[in-house]
Chain A
Amino acid sequence: MKRQNWFLTLMGDSKRQKFTIPILAILLSLLAGAVVYLILGKNPITAYLSYLQGSGLVPKGNYAAKKSMLTDLMSLLNAWTPMLFASLSVAVAMRSGLFNIGVSGQMMIAGLIATATVGYSSLPAPVAKPLVVLISALVGAAVAALIGFLKYKWNINEVVSAIMINYMVRYFVSFCIKRYMADPVSRQSRAISSAARLSLMDTEIGGLKMDIPLGIILAVIAVFLVRFLFDRMELGFEFRTIGANPLAARYAGINVGRNLIVTMALSGVLAGLAGATYFLGYYGSIQPDTLIATGFDAIAVSILGNSSPIGILLSSFLITVIDKGSTYMSSTVGVRQEIGSLITGLILLFAACGAFFSYLIARSRQKAADAEAKTAGKEERV
């Protein structure tokens, strides 16, 4: 009995489990990943170290000209920004008990419209950049609010309508790019002007050439704004109440319908910003014939971070490190870089089992308590 207890003590009460269960999920998946590396005859410690080296968190052996740990870290931040926005978007909806599975579609349509209107214009940077942010936020909000409206007005499940809209957007974006915006060489949309781009690419600072993601500042501000919204504001309280118990919320006089649309719109603003920082920041062009995976990954990242802004800050960072570091890992360790997304997938799988873990913990605690009560009862009788 005693041997099992250290694990239960470590996992803590339900409040502490919010941290310990995701960490358990991460450790289990890293362990599973290590087993795969061992099967392939590679050293897992070197492999995991190279993820950190590739993402600029640990120095590499040598660097190319004008590159350093800092430039790697900057490009990590560049990739992290859209993931952070997308996960926040999912979390905002989830707090009200809504699934925004349409983040990918909202990102793409926001990116497309911002690209078409501002990306190819000759506006100077101080006008173009804020305009990109504004337009993408509005487009994202409009599409997501439509999903909320469909649910409110006709009770159409938000998951279903979001999937339909995702694919409408996917094909519509492909059409627009191929018909009007295609680059004849890359077959993607033509590169946007550097004035409209939210990341300053290949900028020389102190003899280093780096990508500076301006969006990350917005994203970190957004993390704290969302946190403030949930913890301090009446609207955030209403969201949480609806998420916890919609009937009680209605009974308490909360306007559920209005809140539904407002939540989705807010979630859409964040999804739109994710699209802006992805297509007009990180990449600079849009690829046709594909629905980006970020929006789906974001759902799982948000679960891993317990739908809390700070949790998401950490979980999205971890997932980006694995994603970004896998290229360097592949070149040094010689294992296909797809193993990175495999480890990510495993983390998300274990994170989805979170409720089951806490159920198991509660049950074994109960068993331990029962056993103790039994022995205590026996002693008394003796």
Chain B
Amino acid sequence: MNTINTLIIDGLSFALPLFIMAIGGIYSERSGVTNLAIEGLQGFGAFVGALAATLLSGFFAASSQVPMFLAMLFAMLGGMVYSMLHAVLCVKFKADQVISGVVINILAMALTTFLTSQLNASVFGAPSNKFVLGTSVRFSVPGLSSIPVVGAFFSNIYPFELVIIAAALIAWYFLYKTPFGMHLRACGDNPHAVDAAGVEVGRVRFAAVMVSGALSGLGGICFAYSISAQFSPSIYMGYGYLAIAALIFGNWQIGPTLWACLIFGFARSAGFALTQALGLAAAFSDLFMTLPYIITLLLLIFFSKSNRAPRALGEIYDKGKR
């Protein structure tokens, strides 16, 4: 009973940040821009958020939760600003999108590691390679949380989980129900038609990459709060790449991607739970962690016909080309 509860609680708190990053990726890729930069975007966003929280926490009471929400806001801003680099490279400079993504990741890691150490040494006067964040409160919904099993979905919730659900709903609405979303999706499949309809492809793609930056930043800071309560170079654990796996698994659609993220999240917490329950050495949880990737690869093999990337994904838009 207790094991199942922890499984659900931990699974959700891992799956939701992953989900919001994957939605960011969907925005970017549906507009036709390959986004391998999610890993770097989430790290940079988390860095900016953690820096803001560290700088601002002095103005609030020690137990105040305001710095955390400010951190989320700044993480989104930071991720968005940093993602403009990817957008400029891919949209304006017509650089190769895969290369740009790889370079953005390398640069994010180098930049945030250097800045964290340097700022700690020269501004805060303490040589350290991390920013320690306050711990996030967790709450349970009274009544609902006491239902057996299902109640676990309503207990020990991080506040950020609600923020993510709200952000995901908004993102879903914009992508599927507004003209902007329609243009965005069309840019990934048939940019020439969008151009003919009088909408500038470059601008839509630029905006899409910025959305992906903001959402990745949000995901990054949530990981920082939930997993370690600090920002350090260990934020680059490859969750950005896992988000890419999730969105491919979800066939570039928000709904199925949620399922993919939940599967990954629960597979992860089930791995930990199973290792404990069976009395296996802790090392076995690493073995279980290979599962999401194996499942994705197998799925790609079995559904290679129905799994379809946006048609113009990764192609540089050239007005003159037919």
Contacts and interface: CB of A to CB of B under 8 A. Distances in A.
Interface in A145-170: 150, 154-157, 159-161, 163-168, 170
Contacts of B106: 293, 296-297, 300, 341, 344-345, 348
Contacts of B168: none
Given A175-B287, A300-B103, A342 B36 contact: no
Contacts of B282: 178
Interface stretch (B5-13, B111-119, B181-189): B111-119
Contacts of B98: 99, 101, 159
A179 B281 contact: yes
Nearest to B280: A179
Interface stretch (A51-59, A60-68, A106-114, A353-361): A353-361
B93 A355 contact: yes
A167 B236 CA distance: 13
Contact of A156 (B121, B238, B300): B300
A348 B93 contact: no
Interface string B236-260: 0010011011001000000000000
Contacts of B301: 150, 154, 156
In order of increasing CB-CB distance, the 7 nearest A-B pairs are A178-B283, A356-B93, A345-B107, A338-B114, A341-B110, A175-B286, A345-B110
A345 to B, nearest CB: 4
B103 A348 contact: yes
B286 A178 contact: yes
Nearest to B104: A349
Interface string B281-312: 11110110110011011001100100001000
A296 B102 contact: yes
Contacts of A346: 107
B48 to A, nearest CB: 17
A352 B244 contact: no
Contacts of A175: 283-284, 286-287, 290
A345 B99 CA distance: 12
Contacts of A170: 238
A352 B111 contact: no
Contacts of B57: none
Interface string A327-341: 000000001101101
Given A101-B36, A291-B238, A345-B111, 16 more contacts: A156-B304, A157-B309, A159-B98, A166-B241, A168-B290, A179-B281, A300-B99, A300-B103, A300-B106, A339-B114, A341-B114, A345-B106, A348-B107, A349-B104, A352-B89, A359-B94
B200 interface: no
Contacts of A352: 89, 95-96, 99-100, 103
Contacts of B111: 342, 345
A335 to B, nearest CB: 8
B286 A353 contact: no
Nearest to B111: A342
Contact of B245 (A164, A174, A345, A351): A164
Contacts of B109: 293, 341, 345
A118 B100 CA distance: 39
Interface string A178-189: 110000000000
A225 to B, nearest CB: 25
Contacts of A160: 244-245, 248, 300
Which among B95, B103, B118, B304 has the greatest number of chain A C-beta atoms within 10 A?
Answer: B103
Nearest to B285: A175
5 contacts: A150-B300, A160-B245, A164-B297, A348-B106, A353-B93
Interface in A201-233: none
A338 to B, nearest CB: 4
Interface in A14-72: 40
B283 A356 contact: no
A351 B106 CA distance: 13
Contacts of B122: 40
B28 interface: no
A179 B283 contact: yes
B105 interface: yes
A172 B114 CA distance: 30
Contacts of B245: 160, 163-164, 167
Nearest to A288: B286
A307 to B, nearest CB: 11
B241 A171 contact: no
A303 interface: yes
A372 B105 CA distance: 44
A299 interface: yes
A353 B95 contact: yes
A155 B107 CA distance: 31
A161 B300 CA distance: 9
Contacts of A163: 241, 244-245
B117 to A, nearest CB: 5
Interface in B264-288: 281-284, 286-287
Interface in A252-310: 288, 291, 293, 296-297, 299-300, 303
Contacts of A172: 286-287, 290
A345 B103 contact: yes
A291 B239 CA distance: 12
Which one of B92, B98, B110, B113 has the highest number of Cβ atoms from chain A below 10 Å of its Cβ?
Answer: B110
